[in-house]
Amino acid sequence: MAVSALIFDLDGTIIDTEQADFDAWLKVYERHGIELTADMWALRVGWVNLAMFDPAKHLEAVIGKPLSDDELKHLHEEYMHNCERQPILPGVMDMIEQATKHNLKLGMASNSDRTWVEYWLKFHHLDHYFQCVYTRDDVTNPKPAPDMYTCAANCLNIPVEQCVAFEDSPVGMQAAISAGIRTVAIPNWITSKLERPAGLTRTLNSLADLSFETLLREF
């Protein structure tokens, strides 16, 4: 089956905002003398409502008081500063540029809100590459439901059978697979600890391990 469109997740797939977020929270936990582990953090990756692990609620429950407004403000500033220092992940720009050169359509499906997604696409000068961008604000059922990927494929006017999705989290992988889209898993330092769903087309250590030519030839 031909590949006519690529649909990317954002956080953890194009930029490693998870590392940035974890590092910011780690400092807060350390100031309170509380341990924050990667295994705890992994429970929240990819989910919209943080039901599995909310770092603020967990810390406040342990220390027995709410975090101050000043501390939360400093946390957000630290997080944004960390994100700004994160480069586009290896292999991403080459895949995007090659796809654009060969007239493949590009979409985005992110469980983050639209303001966040649009900010980072513009920050990294990527917004003009994507013909369709879907976020949690655009669907009733976010990932792991397939709605976001189905909508992105429909927006691109490409059958799901001709799309390929790139995802770092099992939540996103399940969404793409459920939509009938061939899915490439690129787990990172945190999502590699999580069980991945059945039905993945390929699992990579980095998108740099998959050339555009191989994508067209073998998918």
Overall average pLDDT of the 141-161 stretch: 97
pLDDT for 122 beyond 70: yes
pLDDT score recorded for residue 52: 75
Tell me: do 130 and 179 sit in the same domain: yes
Supply the CATH number for residue 206's domain. 3.40.50.1000
| Domain total in the chain | 2
Q: Are residues 121 and 185 in the same domain?
A: yes
Residues 179 and 212 in one domain: yes
Of 65, 84, 103, the last residue of a domain is 84
Which of 38-47, 74-83, 171-180, 194-203 has the least mean pLDDT? 38-47
Is the pLDDT at 192 greater than 90? The verdict is no
| Catalytic (active site) residue 127 | no
**103 and 24 within one domain:** no
Domain range for 64: 17-84
Q: Does one domain contain both 143 and 68?
A: no
Q: Is the bond preceding 90 in cis, omega lying within 30 degrees of 0?
A: no
Catalytic residue (one of 9, 16, 21, 147): 9
DSSP string covering 3-41, please?
--EEEE--BTTTB-HHHHHHHHHHHHHHHTT----HHHH
Statement to judge: residues 126 and 199 lie in one domain: yes
Catalytic residue among 11, 16, 147, 168: 11
Q: Where are the alpha helices (DSSP H) in the chain?
A: 17-31, 38-42, 55-63, 69-84, 92-101, 114-123, 147-156, 170-178, 212-218
Of 69, 84, 99, which residue sits at a domain end?
84
Residues 12 and 41 in one domain: no
23 noted as active-site residue: no
Q: What is the DSSP letter of 158?
A: -
Shared-domain flag, residues 41 and 9: no
Residues 102 and 80 in one domain: no
65 and 25 inside one domain: yes
pLDDT at residue 47, rounded to an integer = 59
Predicted local confidence at residue 149, as pLDDT: 98
Residue 40 sits in the same domain as residue 109: no
Instruction: Please identify, among 84, 101, 124, the residue that sits at the C-terminal boundary of a domain.
Output: 84
Instruction: Check whether residue 130 and residue 203 sit in a common domain.
Output: yes
Least confident of 46-50, 62-66, 73-77, 156-160: 46-50
